Structure 1
Amino acid sequence: MTGWSTADIPRQRGRTAVITGATGGLGYETALALARAGANVVLTGRNGAKGQDALARIRAQLPDAAVIYETLDLASLASVADFAARFAASHDALDLLINNAAVMALPKRQVTSDGFEMQFGTNYLGHYALTAHLLPQLCRGQNTRVVNLSSLAHRTGAINFADLQSQRAYVPWRAYCQSKLAMLMFALELQRRSARNGWGIMSNAAHPGYARTELIPNGPGTDSLSWRLGRYLQPFMSHSAAAGALPTLFAATSPAAEPGGYYGPDWFYELKGPPVPARIMPQARDTVVAEQLWDVSAMLTGVSFDQIATAA
């Protein structure tokens, strides 16, 4: 695996991939690499203008790329369901789902259209519901993979069932850490359930390390201490969005990626460098909490994997 790069991506011709948050940053770089490898790529995002711009940039480099854009707002369960219905109407199968989109450490507590705390709702619950809605197509895919984007932030995360929506006390970074821990736990639990139920889905996770993307200025903003500190450390501690996408691409395409695997950069504290197996904290491996989180997520979103699997 040492030095793994986009040159090592197996040909993806004939495979269909859906990527959330694909209009910029990590999602865009992931989409570009998969399109270059021959995949049929569905870019999704909230902003149609950014979506069309992303398509234009990919097609400028890859005129024959099979890429389309579809609107998907993970902060709206109605938008998630609508996208899944549109996708099912035009695609019988889905081979690769990359749950990438995220918001980070919003200074003030905000809520989704369904009343969930914005980070937990967007980063985790939206992806939980999306994956469940797409389960029939995923089960009909070939060598199907689902990749969840977690973060180094999961290391200090905890699932607070007493206050999942941070209503009692909103601490921006704590809420972000919880959402990214939930994403890693979701990946591991999905793999366990896929194996148990015969869904044929390989579920794993990745994190980008410290990648230079719009995530920080779109979250805490340029006046925050974390942004100012990060600006000075970036030249030494970070890597590009394209490099940050490599762990995701490894998890999504490499024959060496494993079910329930977790991948991140190989340098100090997993901040930058080519992809290698990443450290999973003990709380992410807690199967009791993972099962409870799964059940609570079904209740909150009104979307049940078991019911969808049975109906399919």
Structure 2
Amino acid sequence: MLGSVLIICLIVLLVGIRVRIYFRGKKCEAYRDISNMTILITGGSKGLGQETIKQLAKFNCRIIFGCRSNPNEFLEQLLESFPQSKIQYFPLDLQSWNSIKQFAARVKQEVDRIDVVINNAGIMGTLKREFTQYGIEAQFGTNYLGPFFLNHLLLDLLKKSNSPRIINVSSIAHVFQNLDFDDLNCDRWANSLFWSRIYTYRAYGNTKFAQILNAQEYSERTGVKACALHPGVVRTEVLQHQLSAWWFNLIMSIAWPIYSFFTKDSYYGCQTILFCLMIKDEELVDGGFYKDCKLAKARFTSREKAKMLWDVSLQLISKIDNLY
């Protein structure tokens, strides 16, 4: 009897370990020499951005990152661990048009080219409809339109690289999208009582879908290769907006052990970002969508939607830029 119980316990343990490894995902095994590259990443003060910077610092490449939060403590620790690293931080608030322009201007003063841009910064799940300083729904502005404008401003530096690359950190949440090109601010849900529990996530899905469409159209319009990726379900602070909701805290207090078991930490979460950076130029599928360090398939995409979004985005940034 005891022997049977031990065998069952062993089987359960082994299955649990196997399941945990599966959800943790793969490690990046791709490699190319990036020591002479200049890599720009948005949102580097915590979570995936911070972990990505830590991993890139090992390769002695030049790193420029921008974020809203003050990263001085992180930067000091990083320079202490990697004293030979070339890392610079400039303030960047993707909800502020002037901040985006100032960041781009500062970057142009510092470097003569950019090899890779990682559009990582993002927010998720605002409890109420919030807006950027330039009047766009906060998630759409932070996750998509702000980065689109930044990439537009830095395009001349990207084109000076021998193999420029844009990497959009998207999400499997793009499957929840309901993108309406005539209603990018989600005005149709403005007065709904369910914004914080339903529509905020639909709005988030729209931004992740937009990042995938952007990657599909980028090379066609600019000649710069681009891809998008799903990093996995990662335990980061992206859901910080939900922390003030009592129902969210109640659910997480009950489900945290299960949530932790089936999600990734930041180290494993950044592996597909590293893969999309490290994979050789001829192996990168232009406009591809990557997941678990391999090519995957995004849902609901089409070239027509990608072209339409690009045109609408150009019109928006031109209109906003005339105001600022």
- Give TM class, smaller chain: 0.7 to 0.9
The residue that corresponds to 1:236 in the other structure is: 261
The separation in 1 between residues aligned to 2:126 and 2:287, in whole angstroms, is 30
| Matched residue, 2:288 | 261
C-alpha contact (below 8 Å) 1:71/1:83 kept by paired residues: yes
Aligned counterpart, 1:186: 214
CA distance, structure 2, for counterparts of residue 303 and residue 72 of structure 1? 21
C-alpha spacing 1:214/1:62, structure 2 compared with 1 (3 Å):
same
Where does residue 163 of structure 1 map in the other structure?
Answer: 183
Query: Residues 224, 121 of structure 1: CA spacing in aligned structure 2 closer, same or farther, 3 A cutoff?
Result: farther
* Equivalent pairs, count: 284
From 46, 55, 64, give the equivalent of 1:42: 64
User: Aligned partners of 1:89 and 1:210: how far apart in 2?
Assistant: 37
Q: Is 1:291 aligned with 2:307?
A: yes
CA shift digits 1:91-113 (9 cap, x unpaired)? 11100100000000101111000
Letter in 2 for 1:211: V
Equivalent AA in structure 1 for residue 40 of structure 2: V
Matches within 5 A, 1:9-28: 9-28=31-50
Which amino acid is 1:103 matched to?
A: I
CA distance in 1 between counterparts of 2:200 and 2:83 reads: 42
| Shift in alpha-carbon separation, 1:182–1:60, aligned structure 2, 3 A | same
Are the aligned partners of 1:36 and 1:62 in contact in 2 as well (CA < 8 Å)? yes
After TM superposition, give the deviation of residue 179 of structure 1 in Å. 0.7
Whole-angstrom distance in 2 between the partners of 1:303 and 1:278: 35
Equivalent residue number for residue 274 of structure 2: 249
Shift of 1:260: 1.6
Displacement after TM superposition at 1:60 (Å): 2.7
For residues 44-76 of structure 1, what are the alpha-carbon distances to aligned partners after superposition, in whole Å with 9 as ceiling and x for unaligned? Answer: 1012x2x21221222232121111111111111
Aligned to 2:64, the other structure's residue is in SS state strand
* 1:302 pairs with 2:322: no
Letter in 2 for 1:204: C
State how far apart, in whole Å, the 2-side matches of 1:259 and 1:184 are. 11
How many Å separate the matches in 2 of 1:72 and 1:165?
22
In the alignment, structure 1 residue 33 sits paired with structure 2 residue 55: yes
Partners of 2:265 and 2:248 lie apart in 1 by 18
Equivalent pair of 2:144/2:210 in contact (CA under 8 Å): yes
- RMSD of aligned C-alpha atoms? 2.1
Counterpart amino acid of residue 207 in structure 1? H
Between stretches 164-173 and 149-158, larger displacement belongs to 164-173
Structure 2 residue identity aligned to 1:245:
C
**What amino acid sits opposite 2:211 in the alignment?**
M
1:107–1:220 CA contact under 8 A, matched in 2 = yes
CA offset digits 1:124-149 (Å, max 9, x no partner): 00011011100000000131111001
CA offsets 1:133-174 (integer angstroms, 9 cap, x no match)? 000000001311110011010012132123210223142111
Deviations 1:216-272 (A, max 9, x none): 1x122263656635624323210111110111111112124322221112xxxxxxx
Gaps of 5+ in 1: 266-274, 305-312
Q: CA deviation at 1:35?
A: 1.5
* Alignment-derived partner of residue 100 in structure 1: 120
TM-score under structure 1 length normalisation: 0.85
Q: Secondary structure at the match of 2:215?
A: helix
The CA distance in 2 between the partners of 1:208 and 1:222, in whole Å, is 25
Query: Within 5 Å, which residues of 2 pair with 1:45-84?
Result: 45-47=67-69, 49=70, 51-84=71-104
Q: Contact 2:26 / 2:268 at 8 angstroms: preserved in 1? A: no
| 2:294 matches 1:276 | yes
Q: Cα offset for 1:303?
A: 7.9
CA shift digits 1:188-216 (9 cap, x unpaired): 1102323xxxx3x2111111111111111
Provide structure 2 residue ranges, at least 5 long, that are not aligned to the other structure.
Answer: 1-24, 191-198
Q: Which has the larger radius of gyration?
A: 2
Runs (4+) off by over 3 Å: 3-9, 222-227
1:7 deviation in Å? 6.0
Equivalent residue number for residue 201 of structure 2: 173
The answer on whether the counterparts of 1:158 and 1:181 sit within 8 Å (CA) in structure 2 is: no
Give % identity.
31
Question: Residue type matched to 1:250 in 2?
Answer: F
Matched, 1:213 2:236: yes
What is the aligned partner in structure 2 of residue 272 from structure 1? none
